[in-house]
Chains A and B, each alone.
Chain A
Amino acid sequence: MALLEIRDVVKTFGDFTAVNHVSLSVEAGEFFTLLGPSGCGKTTLLRMLAGFEQPDSGQILLDGKNVAGVPPEKRPVHTVFQSYALFPHMTVAQNIAFPLKMARVPQADIKARVDEVLDDVRLTQFATRFPHELSGGQRQRVAIARALVNRPRLLLLDEPLSALDAKLREEMQIELINLQKEVGITFVYVTHDQGEALALSHRIAVMNKGQVAQLDVPETIYSYPNSRFVADFIGQCNLLDATVVAIDDGKMKLEIEGVGIAEALPVAGAAVGARGTLTLRPEKIKLGASLPAGDDHEVHFKGKVHDCLFLGDVTIYIVELDNGTLVETMLPNAASGRARFFDDNDQVELAWRFDAGHFVLA
């Protein structure tokens, strides 16, 4: 039995449907992420799990029991808020002791458990500080410690890293993964940052317009997006409109609009004449002044460099094909002493294997 089961949940605000028939389940010990752009319903779903909102229809089951009507203070679910929501008039230790006091844990145990969790988040020497005397990262850790100390069945995290700068965010990501492994508590994590979701999660539910667009492990979400939306939302992706022109054993021929014929892996439900999008990640495209032909599995196109974006570790090249279509590709700057291979308007050749892209039906 799954720890958390969401069954056909709907939530509307006025005539806006925030969550539209969502069903999913989360296993105990999982790091589960709700990923989507703002307004996709992920935060509303989280607030329903916490108990701040009630679903209009559908059920939320925690350990097999329907939690409808159970107020937030009675749920074994704690939230790490985006703004941290630390109590400004309490010290770090008092903040962390708060849920234990509410649960009427004996005073002697409170001390021991606060000390333990302070040690977990490496804040022992800050116990008597007030929140305004801490840095952003430290506040973040206090918020997590406070939500974890009572060992909830479920920990909800609402964009917890969005207020931190990039470098600190990366550090905190690693800390979060380790902490989750260590405490073994199930995390439901809400974010709009696809990189964060890919790095942290066991499974991701990509949400769009109140619905789950795709639910899978990060690798599958990235490599085999099931829709144009998911492909576009997760990472950088070339989206090429295409029509299926032939299907034979293990391969499918696509007519890419304005580009030409290319082969791709067949997908379920695609018949000859079906329209859709070939999703092609920039790092899966080969780029060179001229590429050796001869591999039957590859398709080649010629073009010229339209734009270069030097990012340090890699350089993004936007290539304009002969017929005007723009394709994004990248090269790692791995060669010593060389940061850039092509300049604007250089003639180049592109190639990709038939299984580099992934076709999604429109």
Chain B
Amino acid sequence: MRNNRLAKWLISGPPLLYLLLFFAIPSAIMAFAAFRFPGDYGGLLPLMDVNPDTGKTELLINAANFREFLTLENFARFFQEPVFFELFIKSFWYAGLTTVICLVLAYPLAWLIARSPKKHRDLLVLLVILPFWSNFLIRVYSWMIILGPQGYFARSINAVLGVIGVGPVQLLFSHFAVILVLVYVHLPFMVLPLYANLEKHDMNLLDAAQDLGANAWQRFWRITWPLSLPGVWAGAALVFIPALGMFAVPDLVGGTDGIMIGNLIKQQFLDSRDWPFGSVLSIMLTLAVLMLAGLATLIGRGGKRNAL
């Protein structure tokens, strides 16, 4: 027994320590920063300083003056100015749309890979993850060239549109470009969990369903789809959450109109040097995602075990 427990700690200890140092503690620091004031030259207003007389580090904050150091104003600002809320909604919309498009594209692909002969599957999965072998930024930059006004793609689209008397349209620096590239970047994260799920499905179940009178659509909708839901949820989480916080893609292909919440957070930390407000935005984003995940779990749990 004792050895067993020791082994458990030895195995789970290092990752736990890692998460504590680089996730839990930084998150706590950030949460605390949300209640503080920005420093004069960026960063945070210090809570302790070196006393020039004694040369010792002293705490500046005390019971009498804590209001000069801690505040709820950063949160108040978030709730008072609708522009932040609107950006939240827009980012959720972008991430949601990206997730749905990824799902629609990835499901048939994952299904085909899972149904292909066993000897081909590994190769097909390799092809799905092949884009990861080149740098993320290079892949996004190549989209800038494809979508740019001089690119063949944009020129042919506009040529076609010109024939029917529409356009020209700008593809780069648009909502369209942001969604397109977000889908491109995240698609493998949807394909892989879906494939892992669909590959395990028992084909006898589909035979049984067909035998009992289910047509192709009913076999999908009543058997394959419900059984693939764990894969769908995993893929949706792997796409939605990173897409929601993405700042590089809107930065590069979104133009002024295409920014997302991630860009705003980056701005607060790097450009405006308002760490406390950046922290507020981060915390609100995290809370929103957690609430969404909780909601999804509740919905997933409901409706089971009814008799018919």
Binding site for B on A (CB under 8 A): 50-52, 71-74, 77-79, 81, 83, 85-89, 91, 93-94, 97-99, 102-103, 107, 110-111, 114, 127-128, 130, 146-147, 150
- A128 with B305, Cβ < 8 A, contacts A85-B205, A89-B226 known: yes
The proximity string for B residues 194-206 relative to A, scoring 1 for CB distances below 8 Å and 0 otherwise, is: 0000000010110
- For B205, the chain A residues whose CB sits under 8 A away are 85, 87-88
Asked if B211 and A78 make an inter-chain contact with CB atoms under 8 angstroms apart, the answer reads yes
Chain B residues engaging chain A, CB cutoff 8 angstroms: 202, 204-205, 207-215, 218, 222-223, 226-227, 305-308
Question: Is there an interface contact between A79 and B208, defined as CB atoms closer than 8 Å?
Answer: yes
Cβ contacts under 8 Å, A127 to chain B = 307
Q: Which among A50, A73, A85, A99 is the interface contact of B215 at CB below 8 angstroms? A: A73
- Tell me if B210 and A93 are in contact (CB < 8 A): no
Q: How far is the CA of A50 from the CA of B209 in the complex (A)?
A: 12
- Are B214 and A102 in touch, CB under 8 angstroms? yes
- A73 and B222 alpha carbons, distance in the complex (Å): 14
What are the residues of chain A within 8 A of B227 when measuring CB–CB?
88-89
Question: Which residues in B have their C-beta under 8 angstroms from that of A107?
Answer: 308
Which of B202, B214, B307 has the largest count of A CB atoms less than 10 A from its CB? Answer: B307
The minimal Cβ–Cβ distance linking A75 to chain B, given in whole angstroms, is 8
List residues of chain A with CB within 8 A of the CB of B307. Answer: 91, 93-94, 127-128
Q: Which of B205, B207, B212, B307 is packed against the most chain A CB atoms within 10 Å? A: B212
A114 x B308 contact (CB < 8 A): yes
Contacts A97-B308, A127-B307; A52 near B207 (Cβ below 8 A): yes
Q: What are 6 A-B pairs with beta-carbon distances under 8 A?
A: A73-B212, A83-B202, A87-B208, A87-B223, A89-B226, A150-B213
- Min CB distance A39 to B, Å, is 20
Q: Look across to chain A and name the residue whose beta carbon is closest to the beta carbon of B216.
A: A73
User: Are A73 and B208 in contact, with the CB atoms below 8 A?
Assistant: no
- Contact check, B211 vs A50: say whether CB atoms are below 8 A apart: yes
Given A102-B214, A128-B306, output 18 extra A-B contacts at Cβ < 8 Å.
A51-B211, A71-B210, A72-B210, A72-B211, A77-B211, A81-B204, A83-B204, A85-B202, A85-B204, A87-B208, A87-B209, A91-B306, A93-B307, A94-B307, A98-B222, A102-B218, A130-B305, A150-B212
Tally inter-chain residue pairs, CB-CB below 8 A: 74
Question: What chain A residues lie within 8 Å of B223 (beta carbons)?
Answer: 87
Contacts of B305 in A (CB 8 A): 91, 128, 130
Q: How far is the CB of B222 from chain A (nearest CB, A)?
A: 8
Residues from chain B with a CB closer than 8 A to the CB of A102 are 212-214, 218
Give the Cβ gap from A92 to chain B, nearest Cβ, in Å.
9
Q: Complex Cα distance A128/B308, Å?
A: 8
CB neighbours of A51 from chain B (8 A): 211
A-B interface, 6 closest residue pairs, ranked by CB to CB distance from nearest: A102-B213, A85-B208, A99-B212, A85-B204, A79-B211, A72-B210
CB distance from A143 to the nearest CB of B (A): 8
Q: Please, which residue of chain B has its CB at the minimum distance from the CB of A92?
A: B307
Asked if residues A85 and B207 are in contact (CB atoms below 8 Å), the reply is: yes
In angstroms, how far is the closest chain B Cβ from the Cβ of A284? 43
Chain B nearest Cβ from A153, distance in angstroms: 13
Does B308 lie within 8 Å of A73, measured CB to CB? Answer: no
Given known contacts A85-B207, A93-B308, A98 and B226 CB-to-CB distance under 8 angstroms:
no
Give chain A nearest CB distance to B186 CB in angstroms.
27
B214 pairs with A73, CB closer than 8 A: yes
Decide: A147 and B308 in contact? CB cutoff 8 A: no
Q: Would B210 and A78 count as touching, CB distance under 8 A?
A: no
- Give the distance to chain B from A274, nearest Cβ to Cβ, in Å: 48
Contact indicator A147/B212 (Cβ below 8 Å) = yes
Q: Which residues of A contact B204 (CB under 8 A)?
A: 81, 83, 85
Q: Within the assembled complex, what's the spacing in Å between the Cα atoms of A93 and B307?
A: 6
CA distance A111 to B306 in the complex (A): 12
> Given the complex of chains A and B, what is the CA–CA distance between A81 and B203 in angstroms?
12
Pair B308/A110 contact, Cβ less than 8 Å: yes
B203 nearest in chain A by CB position:
A85
Min CB gap B213→A, angstroms: 3
Q: Which residues of A contact B202 (CB under 8 A)?
A: 83, 85
**B24 to nearest A CB, angstroms?**
36
Which of B211, B215, B308 neighbours the largest number of chain A CB atoms within 10 Å of its CB? B211
- Shortest A105–chain B CB gap in Å is 10
Expressed in whole angstroms, the Cα–Cα distance for A146 and B213 within the complex equals 12
Distance between A67 CB and nearest chain B CB, rounded to angstroms: 14
